[in-house]
Amino acid sequence: MSTLSTSSAQELHPSPSARTAGGRMVVAGPMEPTYDTVLTHEALDFLATLHAEFLTERRRLLTERGPRNDAIARGDLPSHREDTRHIREDADWRAIGHAGASGLSRRRVEITGAPDGRTAVNALNSDADSWLADFEDAMSPTWSNVVLGQVNLRAAVRSRLKHVTRVGKYYEQRASRRAGARQPTIVVRPRGLHMPEAHLRYVDRNGSETSAAASLVDFALYFFHNAEELAARGSGIYFCIPKVESAAEARWWNRLFLRAQELLGLEPGTLRATVLIETLSAAIEMEEIVWELREHCAGLHAGRWDYIFSMTKAFRHDRSFLLPDRKEITMELPFLESYAQRIIDVSHRRGIHALGGMATAFPDREDPELTAVAQQGVREDKEREAAQGFDGTWVAHPNLIPVAREAFDAVLGDADHQIERIPATNGTGENGRITSADLLSRDGLPTPEDLREHVSEDGVRTNIRACIAYLDAWLSGKGALKVDHLVEDVSSVEISRAQIWQWIRRGVKMDNGRVLTTVLVDRYVAEELAITSRNPLDRFCESAELLRWGALGDELPDSFTVEAYQRFMVDRAARMPYPFAA
């Protein structure tokens, strides 16, 4: 395979472009050393083909989200579709699952993190069963992070990833493991359908230009460079699909998978996908989503923090749906218990893995007492998941892998999973089946009258700190980070700002007797900034600006990521018409 060298790119064409009968890709971001190993003409041609065939349908699917979500916000509660009843009631069909997929049978502990060099090496050298290389919530989508993430994955697949930090610390992927051990299976999580990648532009056959779809970029570059290599090594290529909101979107992903395999001459089913259930609409259409992806679906993942945000956003105008301080939100709440039970029930009846939620507690090597508390919290969470029937779970730190593994070992023993076990559910449907009404339950939530006992000034400030700290890191090119001994990522910001917005609109009185208002939150933001350690390169002012935009306006914005990305992250060159085109 030929590639465009960095020097020739700079001398002849500052960025490569690729052409297909349907259009071409143009690189609008800067070309740095090593970028040409993944931004090859062949890879861009493959990406252009997928844009030509799938971009229009992606746009249509995104436009359908707004009216659907607005209807829920107006009180038109979602329910199971009548036209797909036959799919739910047919007990005989199964998805492909993990059959014939090397490295996917045992998924007891999955470690997640952005595909930067240090995180990738630490994950691949860990004792986790799999590594979720996350281009979405755990990664700041700077151009360099996006491209270097692909460079790192290409090296990792070939067991030759190395990384040196700015201070000279060396990290290297262990090519050989101790006897009986294996490298964690790589599972890649591309960005969601809603995100653009403005540093790559798609120009169609009529000359119309648009930002590339980030989901296509992340998927296509990893697939193109690694699918054949993995197949030659006796493995498949594995993805985790985020932010799916409907069966129609799952159908789009399935068609994309089939086409990508066809273009590279790979057998259907070489690719496997796990679907994150992160939205209310996806929870309602869960079984239909698996059906649409049955040729590739290996499991369902509980994206519980994004799911909580989705519920808060969906019922932002509903006075009966008010969540307490984040620390009081547990999976024992009836609507979350129903969500977890439905994931397990659907997954196991359809022959695929059910994977639990992220453990956000973070160990602190400087504080053994806090570490012990964090480990105990994770242990209790994972013991509950294993007993419920999940087949595995997520952690964000290598030190939590043994804690999570012990919890699942105690239930699974030597078995890779417990897919054959279909636990009883306690829903209101026939035989205890979880219904849409169970997923929408307000049981266990504080009423507007007693919310004062469940919303504190400290809780509000915790949300503010999580937002400004994570947004500062995100805008500075860093991903998930520790705030107040918890791992915070995109979903943390979304939950935190949505709670603040809703509490203000409801005139919630906090534990200190004060009514939460826009003015008071703005004051808290200023006070938190005043006591925050600053440096000349930080992005706290922009972080506060985004928090005010996302939490203090008349309407609750759908997502902060697209706004923040377009406003603060897109290189100026990427805004130019036909930048650097030959």
Q: For residues 126 and 120, what is the distance between their CA atoms, to the nearest angstrom?
A: 10
Which residues make beta-bridge pairs with 197? Answer: 212
Which residues make beta-bridge pairs with 486? Answer: 361, 483
Q: Hey, what's the torsion of the CAs at 315, 317, 323, 324, to 10 degrees? A: 170
The phi and psi torsions of 85 (rounded to 5 degrees) equal -55, -40
Q: Comparing C-alpha atoms, which of 350, 308, 321, 330 is closest to residue 497? A: 308
Give the three-class secondary structure for 345: helix
Q: Which amino acid is at 32?
A: E
Please give the distance of CA 413 from its chain centroid, rounded to a whole number: 30
The number of beta carbons lying within 10 Å of the beta carbon of residue 507 is 11
Q: Is 580 left (phi over 0), alpha (psi -120 to 50) or beta?
A: left
Which H helix or E strand runs over 91?
A: none
CB of 129 closer than 8 Å to CB of 392:
yes
Which residues make beta-bridge pairs with 20? Answer: 23
Which H helix or E strand runs over 501?
A: helix 490-505
Q: Would you name the residues annotated as active-site residues?
A: 189, 489
Q: How many CA atoms lie within 13 A of 349 on its CB side?
A: 22
- CB < 8 Å & 24+ apart, contacts of 141-144: 141/191, 141/195, 141/197, 141/214, 141/561, 141/565, 141/569, 142/477, 142/569, 143/29, 143/30, 143/199, 143/571, 143/574, 144/32, 144/477
* Cβ neighbours of residue 51 closer than 8 Å, sequence gap 6 or more: 22, 23, 25, 202, 212, 213, 216
User: Would you state the structure tokens that stand for residue 403, as one six-digit string?
Assistant: 């804690």
Q: For residues 475 and 539, what is the distance between their CA atoms, to the nearest angstrom?
A: 7
